[in-house]
Amino acid sequence: MSRTSTAAITATAAIRKWRKRWAPIRRSSRTSPTTLPVPDKLKAILRFAKVLTLEPRKISQAHADAVYAAGWDEQALHDAILVVCRFNFMNRLTLGHGLDPAPEKFATRGKSMSYNSERAGPA
């Protein structure tokens, strides 16, 4: 088995494990961050992240103040904003280019990748 296909199979297994472990959180997060089985302090920053992701024009000082009131500082809010922005950017970039994120196809795709080909250029 090539190194590439082994990596793809490992990635697929990791994703399946993640999905199983976090399924209850993923299901409950579809409705509201307030229903998540996480500490209240974390819920405040997740509410902010949800608004920033789904309705970015509606984000306001009141949203930031709720994060601060939950005990987070400005650096933590800044870090959360960076994470949300990066995930949203990458999702839009990959989906906009038509990349299919179906994990069941990772192993097959991994086998077709050739990181050591001439196409990849010199190492």
Please tell me the distance from the alpha carbon of residue 7 to that of residue 22, in angstroms, as a whole number: 22
Whichever domain contains 65, its CATH number is 1.20.1290
Q: What are phi and psi of 46, to 5 degrees?
A: -70, -35
Each residue's pLDDT tens digit, 25-43: 555 545 677 777 788 888 8
In a domain, 119, yes or no: no
- pLDDT computed for residue 123 by the predictor: 47
Each residue's pLDDT tens digit, 8-24: 555 556 556 655 665 66
On whether the CB atoms of residues 16 and 106 are closer than 8 A, the answer is no
In a domain, 120, yes or no: no
In a domain, 49, yes or no: yes
**Domain membership of residue 17 as a residue range:** 3-112
Split at pLDDT 50, 70, 90, the class of 78 is very high
In a domain, 21, yes or no: yes
pLDDT at 68 over 70: yes
